[in-house]
Structure 1
Amino acid sequence: MISATVTGNVWATRRIEGIPAGAFLEVEVDGTGSRLIAFDVLGTGVGEHVLVAQGSVASGWFTGTPPPVDALIIGSIDSNPNK
C-alpha cells in the first residue's frame, strides 16, 4: 500500500466491458515524484491524500471477474488536526 496525492483526472470516454463505475485519476506517490493512474470508486478529488493498493489486491476488491485494474484508491488520508 502506498500513500499518494491526487494530481489530476484521466478522461476515458470509451472503456472495455468489465470496468466498473468509477474514475481514473493520476496520483503522485508521496516522497518520490513518480506518478501512476489509479482507479477510484470513492469520489476523491484533486489535491486529496489517498491510500493506493496495487496488483492483485486492487483487482481482487471487485466482485465477480476481476477487472484489469492494477492500482485502486482504497482510502482518503485525513489531515492531522494537531499539526
Structure 2
Amino acid sequence: MIRARVTGQVWSTKRIETLPNGALLQVELENGSSMVALDVLGCGVGESVLITTGSVAAAYFTKIKAPVDALIIGSIDE
C-alpha cells in the first residue's frame, strides 16, 4: 500500500467501457512524486488516502477486466 494525499481531479471527456465508475484523482505520494488513481470511495482534495497498484488494483473488479493500475482503497482519518 502507498500513502498519498489527493491534490486534484483529472477530467476525461472519453472513457473506455471497461473503466469502472469512479473519479480519476491526482495524488501526491510521500516521496513528492504524483500519479493518477481511480477513486471508487468518493475521496476529496486534501484527503490522505491509501493506494494499491498493479494486478491487486485491477483484481478488485471481479465482473469485468478493468484497466486499472492504481486504486484508492482507503481514506486515512487524521
TM-score range relative to shorter protein: over 0.9
Matches within 5 A, 1:3-82: 3-30=3-30, 32-79=31-78
1:17-63 deviation line (CA, Å, top 9, x unaligned): 11111010000001x11000000000000000000000000000012
Q: Give the Å deviation of 1:13.
A: 1.5
**Structure 1 segments of 4+ aligned residues over 3 angstroms from their partners:** none
Task: Give the superposition deviation at 1:12.
Answer: 0.9
Aligned length: 78
Query: Aligned partners of 2:35, 2:48: CA distance in 1, in Å?
Result: 14
User: Between the two proteins, what is the percent identity of the paired residues?
Assistant: 62
TM-score normalised to structure 2 length: 0.96
Q: Which runs of 5+ in 2 are unaligned?
A: none
Note the C-alpha offset of 1:64: 1.9
Displacement of 1:65 in angstroms is 2.7
Gaps of 5+ in 1: none
TM-score scaled by length of structure 1: 0.91
Pair member with larger Rg: 1
Letter in 2 for 1:48: E
